[in-house]
Amino acid sequence: MKRLDLKNQRFGNLTVIESSDYKSKRGDYYWLCKCDCGKEKLILGRSLVTGKSKSCGCLKNRRSIKIVNLKGKHFGSWHVLEESGRTPNQQVKWLCQCGCGLKKSVDGRSLISGKSKGCRDCSPIRFGEKAPGWKGGLTRVQKLIRDHLSKATNWTQEVFARDDYCCQRCIKRGGRLQAHHIVKLSAIIIQYGIKSLEDVDKCGLLFDLSNGVCLCKGCHNWVHSLKNKDKELLSDTMGVEIPIKG
């Protein structure tokens, strides 16, 4: 049977680029096609000619997503002006204007769910120091401490070496090991008023090996999860205060 020449032909959203040497079990050839969305895919020639395949699959994905017209509606401080594109998972994005005049593309799901109610300055959803869960910037300080301990000190490696590079919970050796603080960093930060690297260097509790334990990544995640109901390997205090250096 003579092979049809489909090169450069259009089938729905597909443009045939070239033939391939791949065949189906029935002997039908596959053709390399480029979809209007930019994706390239091998598609059976029979599916192209019969109209079974009209895209790489993106049309089917779009049809499966129910599109709600949000144009002209208000969500908090946002006023929806027009559709502005799609997210990688084919969610519709909308160009919105905040009450302050700022324009921004926001995905429809965030608008409908109430996750986005305006720009950062106008949104009733509070960020940073205005947020109800604000704890004085502990997350930023915790990152500062972890970076300092891993890059500027030997504390992490000393904990690993002392525990013979073995997780002290599941007793597995090697793998993705992490040095865990038994007294939580948040408690140490509050107790010692740590706000800078200078404060970090003066805090003996951060560098005390008895306050560290070697854990694998899985056990470390478990220790900090809700599953750890007995607060295993967690404490708010060591019982005996370790003096500040210097």
The dihedral through the CA atoms of 97, 103, 109, 114 has a sign that is negative
pLDDT in tens, 227-244: 888 888 888 654 434 333
Clarify whether residues 58 and 80 are in a common domain.
no
Please, which pLDDT band fits residue 214 given cuts at 50, 70 and 90? very high
- The pLDDT > 70 percentage for the chain reads 80
Clarify whether residues 216 and 145 are in a common domain.
yes
Q: Closest Cα partner for 136 from 206, 199, 194?
A: 194
Q: How many domains does the chain have?
A: 3
pLDDT at 239: 46
Residue 166 lies in a domain: yes
Please, which pLDDT band fits residue 127 given cuts at 50, 70 and 90? very low
The half-sphere exposure of 25 on its side-chain side, counting CA atoms within 13 A, is 0
Residue 211 lies in a domain: yes
Clarify whether residues 217 and 155 are in a common domain.
yes
HEC sequence for 157-195: HHHHHHCCCECCCCCCECCCEEEEECECHHHHHHHHCCC
Q: Which 3 state secondary structure label does DSSP give 94?
A: strand
Lookup result for tokens 């690297």: 197
Clarify whether residues 55 and 109 are in a common domain.
no
**pTM score above 0.75:** no
Clarify whether residues 86 and 49 are in a common domain.
no
Residue 236 lies in a domain: no
Clarify whether residues 58 and 78 are in a common domain.
no
Considering 41, 62, 83, which residue would you say is the last residue of a domain? 62
Q: Greater confidence, 148 or 180?
A: 180
pLDDT in tens, 16-41: 999 888 888 888 889 999 988 888 88
Helix axes 155-162, 138-151, angle to 10 degrees: 70
Alpha carbon distance 11, 50 (integer Å): 10
Judge whether residue 129 has pLDDT over 60: no
pLDDT in tens, 49-102: 998 888 888 776 655 456 678 999 998 888 999 998 887 666 788 999 988 888
Residue 235 lies in a domain: no
Residue 230 lies in a domain: no
User: Which H/E stretch holds residue 201?
Assistant: helix 197-202
Residue 133 lies in a domain: no
Clarify whether residues 198 and 160 are in a common domain.
yes
Clarify whether residues 151 and 214 are in a common domain.
yes
Alpha carbon distance 213, 231 (integer Å): 15
Residue 43 lies in a domain: yes
Tell me which residue range forms the domain holding 158: 138-223
Residue 167 lies in a domain: yes
